[in-house]
Structure 1
Amino acid sequence: MDKPTILVVEDEAIISRDIVMTLEAMHYHPVCAVMTADDAITKAREHTPDVILMDINIHGTMDGIDAARIIRDELHIPVVFVTSCGDEATIARAQESTPYGFVLKPFSDRDLKVAVDCALSKKATETPVIQHGDWYRFTAKES
């Protein structure tokens, strides 16, 4: 069985490296780590990972929530926010992007594993529904 692939989006190099090492120890495959929303979108298109772990406050013109919306709408890749932004307004805004999970920093390895496993499980049950919906929309256009 192939290892689940994960894209890490974190602008703090030490935290990013720690997440990558933790994922590797858990037998996931981190495809790469990036620091900006634009890079997250580009790498998501390039690698189509199984899950994206995304900080909300990242470098660039967009934040993680904006990137998550684009990735959700275009690629249907689950995003789990891993962030220190725990205020109610940010959480409410993040929820509008329909994340597959939310892990507050500082987090334990177990917190990260539970969030990734839940996202992978939810994705596995939703993928056939999404694919069926895409097929239906395509055939409806053709007729």
Structure 2
Amino acid sequence: MEPLEPSVTGATLLIVEDEVLVAMTLKSELEDAGFHVLDLTDRPGEALAAAQACKPALALVNIELHGRDDGIPLAREFKAMDIPVLFISGQISQARSAQSVAVGSLPKPYHPAHMVMAVNYLLRHLEGDESLPRPQGLEVFAENAAEMEPDEA
């Protein structure tokens, strides 16, 4: 994995995930890569409060929280706050149907290194830097998605 560019190292991220082990592993991997991760949460209300207190550069949101589709309405709230959302979910069809409220999705299960690359890619892309190839498994929901490089297998 290539090192992160200084433009995104230290960016603040919010993880909304109800699987504790997944959330803790993800937080550890992202912090090791140089990102700042807010406290983990699995509740939409807590996630909104955290986002209002410290606007993250990107929110990583699981669509199904405790067996309910709470992630999609939460993503709508984040979009209203100008916080980009990356869906992390096994519910790919739901992620695609809600693409108007997210910048992309990465399906579960994923390798933690792929998540780090996806976050780095999205943050750089949001800054207008399209120099990185799109990481494996990342689906980008953007008007210019057709112009972006295809996944490399």
| TM-score, with structure 2 as normaliser | 0.71
Q: 1:115 is matched with which residue?
A: 118
Q: 1:96, CA displacement in angstroms? A: 2.8
One-letter amino acid of the structure 2 residue matched with residue 108 of structure 1: H
One-letter amino acid of the structure 2 residue matched with residue 35 of structure 1: D
Question: Taking every aligned residue pair, what percent have the same amino acid on both sides?
Answer: 27
User: Structure 2: which 5+ residue stretches go unaligned?
Assistant: 1-5, 129-153
State the SS of the aligned residue for 1:8: strand
2:108 to 82, 101, 105: 105
**Maintained 8 Å contact 1:37/1:60:** no
In 1: Cα distance, 2:45 partner to 2:67 partner:
7
Indicate whether 1:46 and 2:50 are aligned: no
Q: Where do 4+ consecutive residues of structure 1 move more than 6 Å?
A: none
1:35 to 38, 42, 66: 42
State the SS of the aligned residue for 2:39: strand
User: Any residues of structure 2 matched to 1:1-143 within 5 Å, and which?
Assistant: 3-59=10-66, 63-73=70-80, 75-86=81-92, 88=93, 90-97=94-101, 99-125=102-128
One-letter amino acid of the structure 2 residue matched with residue 31 of structure 1: L
Q: 1:94, CA displacement in angstroms? A: 2.1
As a proportion of its length, which structure holds more helix? 1
Aligned length: 122
| TM-score, with structure 1 as normaliser | 0.76
Question: Which has the larger Rg?
Answer: 1
**Maintained 8 Å contact 1:37/1:59:** no
State the SS of the aligned residue for 1:91: helix
One-letter amino acid of the structure 2 residue matched with residue 117 of structure 1: N
User: Structure 1: which 5+ residue stretches go unaligned?
Assistant: 126-143
In 1: Cα distance, 2:68 partner to 2:44 partner:
8
